[in-house]
Amino acid sequence: MADKNLASRIINLRESKNMKQSDLARRLSLDKSSMSKIENGTRKVSSDEILKIANIFEVSTDYLLGNNEKNHKSPDWATEADRIDLDKLLQSNTPMGYGGMSMAPEDKEKVRNVIEGIYWDRLKKLREEGKKVGVYMRYDTYLKVEQLAQSFETYDPFTIADRLGFEVHFEDIGANMGVCTPILGTTDIVISDSLRDSPARLPVMAHELCHGIEDTACVSWYTLGDYQKNSAEYKANAFACQELAKLYEEEYDELPDSFNTLKNAYGLPDEFLEFFSFS
């Protein structure tokens, strides 16, 4: 039997990413009719399709299947976006372990309960204080962004690169937007000359800055599209988005209230929408 709740979650996830039904069908290798039946709740979704959908939207299969709500009830005031953010937070903290040893299932459950409790309590407090909540950030990305800001007192990727001793060049590099590579002991970042006077130079620079910090042993290209999850490219894109969200706060004294706000300010490509969640 098809699951109406699953269908609703799929629709919510797709619409939150401004994705057309036909685009999701294509990524799942389904025809439009099958995709329509899934979203109408009249066609059962296979386990393989569940996994693909979870990967596309970066949520757990437990979230899609409603297991999170069955085992861990969220507050009545919580939105679907809140539940998705919590699911991402939990994913970023797995597999849980300490000192190289994996946790027993019952210990993981205890830690999960603590994380969930802190999340809901803090979210409620922030809402009551009228503070903006959003721009979901993995904890490891958060640490990287904040440690750089504390060291250099800015979120500007050009300033940070300069203070790290990186050399930045604007050159004609064809269809490529950015390249990062170590040359004779110095990390060089080359950005397309076509972006010299464009705000779009900022996401490219932030992306390549991440490569310069982490991946200086190899040439790294700024790319979009079907990058592998957890790849260097995916992480660099995530870092760029979070760095620019904080740069926006630095410049305007408030967090951006939507993806379009950041897009208009810094020329972020539409593909980066998946790294954000605004409440």
pLDDT category of residue 79 using cuts at 50, 70 and 90: confident
- Region of 224 please: left (phi>0), alpha (psi -120 to 50) or beta: beta
Handedness of CA 246, 252, 258, 262 (dihedral sign): negative
Average pLDDT, integer, range 61-67:
82
For the ranges 90-99, 141-150, 193-202, which has the lowest average pLDDT?
90-99
98 CB contacts (<8 Å, ≥6 apart)?
Answer: none
pLDDT of 204: 93
pLDDT tier at 17 (50, 70, 90 boundaries)?
confident
If pLDDT is split at 50, 70 and 90, which confidence band does 1 have? very low
Q: Where are the domains of the chain?
A: 1-57, 139-275
Mean pLDDT of 259-271: 87
Pairing of strands 220-221, 101-102: unpaired
Residue tagged 């803090």 (tokens): 122
Q: What is the DSSP letter of 198?
A: S
We find that the CATH architecture of domain 1-57 is Orthogonal Bundle (1.10)
Q: How far apart are the first and last CA of the chain?
A: 33
The answer, yes or no, to whether residue 232 has pLDDT greater than 70, is yes
C-alpha distances out from residue 227 to 11, 69, 251, Å = 23, 31, 31
Tokens of 81: 């976006």
Q: What pLDDT is attached to residue 215?
A: 57
**219 band by pLDDT with thresholds 50, 70 and 90:** very low
Confidence of residue 177 (pLDDT cuts 50, 70, 90): confident
3-state DSSP assignment of residue 169: strand
| Under 8 Å between Cβ of 241 and 259 | no
pLDDT digits (tens, 9 = 90+) for 144-156: 788 888 899 999 9
